[in-house]
Amino acid sequence: MAAALLDRLGRLGRFLWSGWAGLTGLALFAALWQAGHELYGDFILSAPAATVQAAALILTDPASLLLVVETVRRAAEGFLLAVACGAAGGLAAGYSAATMRVARPILTVLLGVPPIAWIVLAMIWFGSSDGTVTTTVVVAATPMIFLGVAEGVMSRDRKLDDMARAFGAGPVQRLRTLGLRHVSAYLFPVLTVALGTAFKVAVMAELLANTGGIGGALAMARANLDVTTALAWVLVAVGGLIAVEYLVVHPVRAEFERWREASRPWGVKR
């Protein structure tokens, strides 16, 4: 128990220490933002400090905080549904070549339709409700998760499956110990992209369908030509995305990919 706890704490420490590289990138982005502000002025691009102050006011206002929670909830619901549908369909297609051949043209159609078209259709079907946002997120994120899981299953080492079968491992045990661990190397990078897509599409759907949330606040800022407030809401939306990604997706990924620690500088010494 103590060894497992120390191992988890060590991985947590390495994860937090790796954040310095991310902070460096954010600092560079802020410097470019400040240069753009000094070049074009407040009306085109407000200063980073003023935007951060406006974002802090949003997060300290209970009414505005409810809008943030509403958008995060909608995006998370659609994202979780997309993960469930895409992962289940990808596993089925990866293990069945016939299913994959049938699914490919459907995926091409889904990926070819722009998200704004799905928003318009969802507005007709569900009106200005949560269903519009959730449906659009599911349709936008599911195909990429499906493809990531299917490619992971199809690229598995079948000799390992044969070896596990020879040692008496059943289908469920082989899937749990071999298949899912191999698929995770393909799944989690796709989940990161799908999560970003979920938040972007959710805000876009809220703005166009007038369903409140961060999208509704952005529409209000646009009507008032308030660049600082608009950028502040964008900053809050990105902050929500980062929080969900690094507090949910990356910890789960770390549990699935503990075997990678041996190949890292602070991993097992050979």
* 180 located within any domain: yes
* 36 located within any domain: no
| Higher-scoring residue by pLDDT: 262, 35 | 35
> Residue 223: what pLDDT?
86
| Higher-scoring residue by pLDDT: 114, 4 | 114
Q: How far apart are the first and last CA of the chain?
A: 24
> Residue 185: what pLDDT?
77
pLDDT digits (tens, 9 = 90+) for 123-151: 888 887 888 899 999 999 999 899 888 88
pLDDT digits (tens, 9 = 90+) for 195-242: 888 988 999 998 888 888 898 899 888 888 888 999 999 988 888 888
* 72 located within any domain: yes
Average pLDDT taken over every residue of the chain:
81
CA angle 32, 36, 23 (to 5 degrees): 25
* 229 located within any domain: yes
> Residue 78: what pLDDT?
92
> Residue 93: what pLDDT?
84
> Residue 138: what pLDDT?
92
* 4 located within any domain: no
Q: Where does the pLDDT of residue 176 fall: very low under 50, low under 70, confident under 90, or very high at 90 and above? A: low
> Residue 260: what pLDDT?
60
b/e sequence 139-148, b meaning 16+ C-beta within 10 Å: bbbbbbbbbb
Q: Where does the pLDDT of residue 179 fall: very low under 50, low under 70, confident under 90, or very high at 90 and above? A: low
* 242 located within any domain: yes
Residue 268 has pLDDT above 60, yes or no: no
> Residue 270: what pLDDT?
44
Question: What letter does residue 14 receive in the DSSP assignment?
Answer: H
> Residue 154: what pLDDT?
80
Ramachandran class of 41: left when φ > 0, alpha when ψ lies in -120 to 50, beta otherwise: left
Mean pLDDT of 57-86: 90
Q: Where does the pLDDT of residue 82 fall: very low under 50, low under 70, confident under 90, or very high at 90 and above? A: very high
Q: What total number of domains does the chain contain?
A: 1
* 35 located within any domain: no
- Smallest CA-to-CA distance from 254 within 14, 5, 3 is with 14
Task: Tell me which residue range forms the domain holding 141.
Answer: 44-261
* 19 located within any domain: no
Whichever domain contains 73, its CATH number is: 1.10.3720.10
* CA dist 89 → 79, 102, 147, 195 (Å): 15, 12, 9, 18
pLDDT above 90 covers a percentage of the chain that reads 10
